[in-house]
């Protein structure tokens, strides 16, 4: 086929620019919004997903991890006595106040762990070691929040919940969805920082023995330990994510913005391809008069849309990569896994081809007799 | 019956009513006409007389309200939207007043487009396109865009495009209207050669009295009916080739 689609597309540079701008805008908007959604989703369940536990034990009616309620740590022994439980550890995850050197205060989320155990250890350490938490009043936090908490280096001393805290290390990329940074410390310190009684915990993390049935262990825990809920890690992760993303409406807002990006892109592309089609309507009429079936004309228009989609996608992804990389230094990460990049290609193609259908409707109604009119 | 078999186009008792308003407009009323291979027929008449409507129906672009239209021996009335384009593609080549070339394609690509529609491979289409442009005297203009061609050159590209499908019938709507007299004569010589040397049935709608001497037959239409259908005086072939010898080159 002679390059009619390509030539029609590139003939009017201004219109091509408008078309590509529309597609690029749409691609970037969708990537940013979906990436934000993904980033937020990951952040909401970060603590749970990286816990290394198979089961989470909470008080009754705990809808998400930030809403944990303290209960007696004596239940830990009951949990350890259940067949199939390979390991069980107490965990504190609770909000408290961090006092900066300038006297200002910020909310933080204390994560109190057993440093000698493998469950819920801080990950992605860029400075310090997890074992450093064994030193008195030691805490580890993420480098993203240094400025927010007024921290400049390891060794600095602050106040958490009225108690001394000394920074011994930094992690990288452990974001908190609530904007209250996670501060890792020992279980004992965490009790002090969060004013929890000595005999209280907020969660118990369970590692199931190899070969044991997760479901069976869960049932046995529910039967043997009173007044608790037992969730699979994936289940508790989903509950927490669902709460923050949908119950609060935060996720819905981001998704709506992504859909708006798609709609705006569709409208811009549809409008420009339609205008291009109208510009060339006499040519399409001539094609039909020459004996071209409708499908031939459709092919030309679809090819135009597909070329525009590919060009717009490539340009849009270049811009998106810059935006995504830039976001890594901020509090809200925009994630773009390879599957999203691939999915975006097909979504862009679908958007452009769908937009071209508006023009096809116009072409279908062309009367080839128009070629004889002037 | 025998006459029908020999005709490229046979029109019988043809009427066309445009549905406009309560009554509509009767554009053609009971037209009978035969067009034969090797004949150059001119349709003349005042504006609104129905000649372009007749051309459109003979070209399978417009459907008749009643009557019969046979193109290359096949009844056209009653064919559907898929069958009509296929019939046009196989049997009819069009030449338009405004040339109707694709401005974003080169002269060669404009001709190749027709060959592509016919299913000719790209390599063969390029070769054939070059040959056809050479036949109309534009061999060196293969890569030129329509905007860089004169009116006469554009119309010659349009003729090459119409010929690319190797149709038995050429229908032309005011092919010389946008051309000066010299170029118009040049184009008419090509049309004449198509009819007389290549045995195409050529039908031309025209207002241009300067080209009447190329006609084998002149059909005058008034108010949707044929007012006269007369054999024209043949123009001696020698006169044409003496006046415009380049026009006949390559069309044999």
Per-residue pLDDT tens digits for A217-230: 999 999 999 999 99
CATH 3.30.365.10 holds for B36-49+80-218+229-248 = no
Query: The complex's ipTM?
Result: 0.83
Task: Go through A258-283 and write b for each residue having 16 or more CB atoms within 10 A of its CB, e for each that does not.
Answer: beebbeebbebbbebbbebbeebebb
The whole-number pLDDT of residue B234 equals: 46
Per-residue pLDDT tens digits for A330-374: 767 888 999 999 999 999 998 888 888 888 888 877 777 777 765
Per-residue pLDDT tens digits for B112-140: 999 999 999 999 999 999 999 998 888 89
Chain B: nearest CA to A371, how far in angstroms?
7
Closest residue in chain A to residue B93, using alpha carbons only? A290
Closest residue in chain A to residue B122, using alpha carbons only? A1
In the predicted structure, residue B38 carries a pLDDT above the cut 50:
yes
Radius of gyration (Cα) for chain A, nearest Å? 29
A370 touches chain B (CB under 8 A): no
Query: Which A-chain residues 214-253 have CB contacts (< 8 A) with chain B?
Result: none
Chain A: nearest CA to B58, how far in angstroms?
12
Query: Which A-chain residues 287-316 have CB contacts (< 8 A) with chain B?
Result: 287-293, 296
For residues B87-91, average pLDDT: 92
The whole-number pLDDT of residue B245 equals: 33
Closest residue in chain B to residue A285, using alpha carbons only? B100
CB contact under 8 A, A292 and B85: yes
* B116: chain A residues, CB-CB within 8 Å: 1-2
In the predicted structure, residue A116 carries a pLDDT above the cut 60:
yes
Chain A: nearest CA to B104, how far in angstroms?
6
A8 touches chain B (CB under 8 A): yes
Per-residue pLDDT tens digits for A48-76: 999 999 999 999 989 888 889 999 989 99
A81 touches chain B (CB under 8 A): no
Closest residue in chain A to residue B164, using alpha carbons only? A290
* High-pLDDT (> 90) share of chain A, %: 53
In the predicted structure, residue B250 carries a pLDDT above the cut 80:
no
Read off the DSSP letter of residue B8.
S
Q: How confident is the model at residue B2 (pLDDT cuts 50, 70, 90)?
A: very low
The whole-number pLDDT of residue A137 equals: 94
* A371: chain B residues, CB-CB within 8 Å: 61, 94, 96, 100
In the predicted structure, residue A192 carries a pLDDT above the cut 60:
yes
CB contact under 8 A, A8 and B104: yes
CB contact under 8 A, A286 and B102: yes
A364 touches chain B (CB under 8 A): no
Chain A: nearest CA to B68, how far in angstroms?
19
User: Domain-by-domain residue ranges, chain B?
Assistant: 36-49+80-218+229-248
Q: How confident is the model at residue B252 (pLDDT cuts 50, 70, 90)?
A: very low
Of B224, B221, B227, which is closest to residue B25 (Cα–Cα)? Answer: B224
As a whole number, the mean pLDDT across chain A is 90
CB contact under 8 A, B94 and A290: yes
Q: Are β-strands A163-171 and A138-142 bridged in parallel, bridged antiparallel, or unpaired?
A: parallel
Q: Are β-strands A55-59 and A228-232 bridged in parallel, bridged antiparallel, or unpaired?
A: antiparallel
Closest residue in chain A to residue B91, using alpha carbons only? A291
Q: How confident is the model at residue A149 (pLDDT cuts 50, 70, 90)?
A: very high
Mutate which of B85, B112, B154, B178 to disrupt the A interface (most A C-beta within 10 Å)? B85
What is the SS3 assignment for B151? helix
The whole-number pLDDT of residue A373 equals: 65
CA A97 to chain centre: 27
Question: Cβ atoms within 10 A of the Cβ of B68, count?
Answer: 16
Quickly list H helices, chain B: 2-6, 51-58, 83-91, 107-117, 122-135, 151-164, 181-196, 237-243
CB contact under 8 A, B173 and A372: yes
In the predicted structure, residue A243 carries a pLDDT above the cut 80:
yes
A331 touches chain B (CB under 8 A): no
Chain B: nearest CA to A287, how far in angstroms?
9
In the predicted structure, residue B241 carries a pLDDT above the cut 90:
no
């Amino acid at each position: 086929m002679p390059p009619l689609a390509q030539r029609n597309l590139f003939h009017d540079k201004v219109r091509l620019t408008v078309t590509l701008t529309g597609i690029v805008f749409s691609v970037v908007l969708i990537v940013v919004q979906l990436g934000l959604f993904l980033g937020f989703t990951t952040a909401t369940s970060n603590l749970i997903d990286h816990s290394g536990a198979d089961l989470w034990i909470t008080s009754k009616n705990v809808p998400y991890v930030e809403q944990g309620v303290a209960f007696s740590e004596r239940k830990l022994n009951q949990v350890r006595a259940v067949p199939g439980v390979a390991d069980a550890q107490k965990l504190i995850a609770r909000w408290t106040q961090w006092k900066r050197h300038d006297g200002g205060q910020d909310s933080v989320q204390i994560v109190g762990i057993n440093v000698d155990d493998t469950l819920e250890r801080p990950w992605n350490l860029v400075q310090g070691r997890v074992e450093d938490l064994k030193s008195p009043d030691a805490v580890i936090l993420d480098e993203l929040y240094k400025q927010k908490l007024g921290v400049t280096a390891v060794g600095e001393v602050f106040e958490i919940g009225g108690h001394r805290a000394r920074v011994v290390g930094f992690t990288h990329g452990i974001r908190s969805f609530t904007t209250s940074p996670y501060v890792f410390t020992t279980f004992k310190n965490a009790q002090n920082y969060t004013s929890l009684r000595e005999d209280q915990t907020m969660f118990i993390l369970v590692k199931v023995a190899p070969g044991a049935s997760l479901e069976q262990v869960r049932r046995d825990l529910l039967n043997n330990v009173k007044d608790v809920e037992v969730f699979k890690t994936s289940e508790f992760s989903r509950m927490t994510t669902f709460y923050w993303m949908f119950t609060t409406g935060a996720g819905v807002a981001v998704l709506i913005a992504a859909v708006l990006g798609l709609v705006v892109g569709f409208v811009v592309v549809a409008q420009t391809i339609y205008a291009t089609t109208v510009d060339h309507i006499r040519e399409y009429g001539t094609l039909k008069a020459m004996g071209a079936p409708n499908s031939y004309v459709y092919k030309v228009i679809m090819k135009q849309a597909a070329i525009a989609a590919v060009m717009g996608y490539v340009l849009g992804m270049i811009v998106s990569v810059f935006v995504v990389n830039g976001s890594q230094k901020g509090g809200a990460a925009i994630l773009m896994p390879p599957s999203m990049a691939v999915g975006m290609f097909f979504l862009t193609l679908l958007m452009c081809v769908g937009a071209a259908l508006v023009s096809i409707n116009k072409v279908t109604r062309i009367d080839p007799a128009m070629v004889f009119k002037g | 019956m025998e006459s029908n078999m020999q005709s490229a186009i046979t029109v019988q008792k043809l009427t066309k009513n445009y549905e406009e308003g309560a009554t509509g407009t009767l554009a053609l009323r009971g037209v009978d006409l035969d067009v034969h291979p090797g004949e150059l027929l001119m349709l003349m008449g005042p504006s609104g007389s129905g000649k372009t409507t007749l051309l459109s129906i003979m070209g399978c672009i417009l459907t008749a309200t009643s009557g019969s239209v046979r193109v290359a021996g096949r009844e056209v009335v009653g064919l559907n939207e898929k069958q009509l384009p296929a019939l046009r593609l196989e049997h009819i080549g069009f030449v338009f007043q405004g040339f109707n070339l694709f401005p974003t394609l080169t002269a060669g690509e404009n001709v190749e487009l027709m060959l592509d529609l016919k299913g000719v491979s790209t390599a063969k289409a390029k070769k054939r396109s070059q040959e056809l442009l050479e036949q109309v005297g534009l061999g060196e203009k293969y890569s030129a865009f329509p905007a860089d061609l004169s009116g006469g050159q554009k119309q010659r590209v349009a003729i090459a495009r119409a010929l690319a499908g190797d149709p038995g019938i050429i229908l032309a709507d005011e092919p010389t209207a946008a051309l000066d007299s010299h170029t118009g004569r040049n184009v008419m010589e090509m049309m004449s050669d198509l009819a007389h040397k290549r045995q195409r049935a050529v039908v031309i709608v025209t207002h241009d009295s300067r080209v009447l001497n190329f006609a084998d037959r002149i059909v005058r239409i008034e108010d949707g009916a044929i007012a006269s259908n007369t054999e024209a005086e043949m123009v001696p072939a020698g006169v044409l080739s003496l006046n415009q010898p380049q026009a006949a080159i390559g069309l044999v």
